[in-house]
Structure 1
Amino acid sequence: MSDTLDTLHGKEDRMHNPMNDNSPPTPQRRSWTSIALAWVMAVAGLWLILFANAVTPIEFNQWGITARSLDGLFPGIVAAPFLHVGIGHLASNTIPLFVLGLVASLRDIRAFAFALPIIVVISGLGAWLLSGSNSITVGASGVVFGLLGYLLGRGVFLRHISDIAIAVFVMVIYGSMLWGVLPTRPYISWQAHLFGFIGGILAAYLFSRMLQRTSETQEWPGALHSHQAT
């Protein structure tokens, strides 16, 4: 009898031992994994595009943003973040793009999906309007600066403790990047950097306003009923 009870207790211990927990991952954990994998694939895709540009006779960078040219406006604004001049150019963008993009996506994937097109369009328009004549702008750095501005903007406009903590984190790690919005280096598109950063801040502001209006809309019926009941 004691052997049977010992066996049953042993099974219970194994069932409640976290180390032996073979339960499937939670939806939240699967979501985080999927987002991280998506960013790994996105960055890998940028390197594949660079490799294809090097080994094929077609010059992909011709589809970048040609300043003040209708032909360079589209597909230039959309294509430019996927194109890079060389290994050094892409290498300098890879880690900050992955880190900032991953943080922004994990914080709020729907808000990230809202912010990214705003960043791409405003960064591209800034480069298109203000770059030198006949210049072609390529690279993901405008998106990188946009994500930096977006994460900092969330801390300012949303004022949630998590967003403030993230803003402090990215400022400590990548705050020195802000010098890149100034015309300090030749052949570097400070225009794309500056307007990308502005686009990120604008996206954070617009998203905060959307949340505020949604909150007011949801609270109004309750306030109305409360008034009628008195």
Structure 2
Amino acid sequence: MDALKGFKTIAGLALFMVALQLLNVATGYSLMAFGLIPRTVHGLLGIITSPFLHASFAHLSANLVAFLILGTLVIIEGLNRFLAVSAIIILLGGALVWLFGFAGVHIGASGWVFGLWAYLLSRAWFQRSWGNLITAGVVALLYGGLIFGFLPRQGVSFEGHLFGALAGFIAAKVLFSASRSRFNAAR
């Protein structure tokens, strides 16, 4: 996959989030009903929908810049890799928030962002190469402050951050262990 096509995919997802936010505002934030609500049957749908919903344009923009950068760094590995990493982060991270999150509506792409961040850092450990180490170093330098997102704060789903990051780590572990196993079996 060429870099431009990958960036277009990431930009398309970002534009989808912006369009959804415009619709959300136009409908008096009625889409908030599709957020993740822990331990409720209705809230299960939010595992899939919550990363695309935001409480405000400030909330959305806070997530979009990091999503564009980190998502692009992952999609460079290919669309299938980006989709696999994102699916693990969204589904596993969301399921963990649904199981263990505090009561209330959890929304926003920050769990996805934390997952991409943790994936890029973990990838350097599970698949050691100069490219991965340099990428992890740059990601740590630019986004090292994300570590403070694990601290509980009023109105912030730190559980989404924590479980998104855990899912990103697991994505790296699973995807690179599978790659290594196939490589070793082919020897």
Any stretches of 5+ residues in structure 1 without a counterpart? 1-27, 220-230
Structure 2: distance between partners of 1:109 and 1:178 = 27
Q: For 1:57-206, list aligned pairs within 5 A.
A: 59-73=30-44, 75-133=45-103, 135-183=104-152, 185-206=153-174
Q: Distance in 1 between matches of 2:55 and 2:126?
A: 36
Q: 1:180 to 1:58 in 2, by over 3 A?
A: closer
Tell me, what secondary structure is at the counterpart of 1:148? helix
Larger Rg: 1
1:50 is aligned to 2:21: yes
Deviation at 1:186, TM superposition (A): 0.5
- TM-score norm. by structure 2 comes to 0.95
> Partners of 2:28 and 2:114 in 1: how far apart?
32
Counterpart of 2:110, as a letter, is S
Q: CA RMSD in A?
A: 1.3
Q: Which range moved further: 147-156 or 32-41? A: 32-41
- Tell me how far apart the structure 2 counterparts of residues 203 and 150 of structure 1 sit (CA, whole Å): 7
Residue identity in the other structure for 1:55: A
CA distance in structure 2 between the partners assigned to 1:147 and 1:177 by the alignment: 12
Give the superposition deviation at 1:204: 0.4
Name which of 178, 181, 184 aligns with 1:210.
178
SS in structure 1 of the partner of residue 76 of structure 2: helix
List per-residue Cα deviations over 1:115-161 (Å, max 9, x = no partner): 1111001221222122223x110100000000000000100111111
AA in 2 matched with 1:95: V
Letter in 1 for 2:67: L
Aligned-partner Cα distance in 2 for 1:149–1:58? 31
**Counterparts in 2 of 1:166 and 1:35: CA distance versus 1, 3 Å:** same
Which structure is richer in relative contact order (CA contacts within 8 A, separation 6 or more)? 2
| Matched-pair contact (CA < 8 Å) for 2:51–2:107 | yes
